């Protein structure tokens, strides 16, 4: 017998909360392992910057600092190290020379892709152990969960930095008139 249908206004049961807690532990472990797969190449703060640029497109130093919640001088030092390592290319913004534009180099993109591939493979491995019928039920349930949590609509998950799959041929532009710090 399948799960019983409940009133949409009913509060979550302890069993539902526990199930999400168990799944969260697995997803956190998968995420941690994917980060560990590149830890010999970059630090966690550096990886955050690489993922941000990979998922949002070219960034300036001020937008990196704001997203990381750090002072612009801290973001500048972190980005300098990525430039020195050949993972990020820094250049003047042709439309506003006060801005410095940060883009991934092929090596930087490779690190992000390596981490993402590791994460996808681990998730695929877990899903392969589940019955196919339950996997089908999982898709709408997880999408509803993400929507209830306030995540972006489908096709925009790249903006969160959780995937590098960018929508269509959308042009990524820098935030308007933000100067580097």
Q: pLDDT tens, 56-70?
A: 899 999 999 999 899
The structure's pTM equals 0.73
Residue 62: C-alpha distances to residues 12, 19, 103, 124, 171 (Å)? 41, 40, 14, 37, 20
State mean pLDDT over 114-122.
95
- Looking at residues 134-144, what average pLDDT do you find? 90
**With bands split at pLDDT 50, 70 and 90, how would you rate the model's confidence at 6?**
low
Tokens of 122: 């681990």
Asked whether residue 85 carries a pLDDT value surpassing 70, the answer given is: yes
| CATH of the domain spanning 29-151 | 1.10.10.10
What is d(CA 81, CA 74) in angstroms, rounded to the nearest whole number?
A: 11
Domain positions in the chain are 29-151
Give the range among 6-15, 39-48, 96-105 with minimum mean pLDDT.
6-15
């Amino acid at each position: 017998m399948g799960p019983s249908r409940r009133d949409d206004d009913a509060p979550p049961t302890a069993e539902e909360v526990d199930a999400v807690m168990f799944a969260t532990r697995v997803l956190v472990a998968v995420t941690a392992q994917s980060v560990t797969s590149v830890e010999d190449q970059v630090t966690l703060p550096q990886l955050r910057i690489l993922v941000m640029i990979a998922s949002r497109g070219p960034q300036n130093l001020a937008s990196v600092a704001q997203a990381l919640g750090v002072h612009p001088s801290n973001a500048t030092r972190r980005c300098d190290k990525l430039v020195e390592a050949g993972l990020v290319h820094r250049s003047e913004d042709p439309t506003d020379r006060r801005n410095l534009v940060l883009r991934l180099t092929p090596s930087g993109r490779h690190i992000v892709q390596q981490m993402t591939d590791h994460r996808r493979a681990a998730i695929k491995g877990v899903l392969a152990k589940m019955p196919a019928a339950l996997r089908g039920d999982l898709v709408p349930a997880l999408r509803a969960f993400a929507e209830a949590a306030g995540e972006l609509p489908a096709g925009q998950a790249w903006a969160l930095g959780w995937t590098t799959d960018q929508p269509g041929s959308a042009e990524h532009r820098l935030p308007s008139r933000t100067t580097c710090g």
